[in-house]
Structure 1
Amino acid sequence: MDVLFVLFLFIFFVGGGYWTAKGIGEVLFGKSESKSSYIDKSVHHHTHIHEHKSINIIDDFTKKKVFELRDNNKKKTD
């Protein structure tokens, strides 16, 4: 008997909550004009591979200093 009562309370509160939230939504945002949905098949999506591409333009002196800094950082962490 307790299981039926719990089931009834569950249905009552879930259903009541749904209808209450739907009513509040209609008051705040207005009633939905269209009940059906239309899926536009003209839009075709493709999955693209995301690539990171960059161009670095530095002179030889700066390039040498960058590599020296990298080597010094490696020595400090080892």
Structure 2
Amino acid sequence: MGKAKVAVTIDSALLESVDRYVREHEFESRSSFFENAVAERVERYEKGRLARELDKLDVDEERQTAEEGIEAENEIWPEY
């Protein structure tokens, strides 16, 4: 996947912290730090989004739907 160059504005104290991590060789560069940070944030957001969608499900309704499906399958398949 290609990379895109962006410009961002952040607090100078925060940037100093990033630069310290780069100097201490925790990260290769500012870019690698920010790419890593954004990737982690996107992953957390997507997991949270899934959890929020799952919270919308009605467990009893889903169970009933599943049981109805199983009963219908049992009627279709012959006994052995």
Work out whether the TM-score is over 0.5. no
Give the TM-score range, shorter chain: 0.3 to 0.5
State TM-score, norm by structure 2.
0.35
State TM-score, norm by structure 1.
0.36
When you count helix as a share of all residues, which structure comes out higher? 2
The structure having more radius of gyration, on CA atoms, is 1
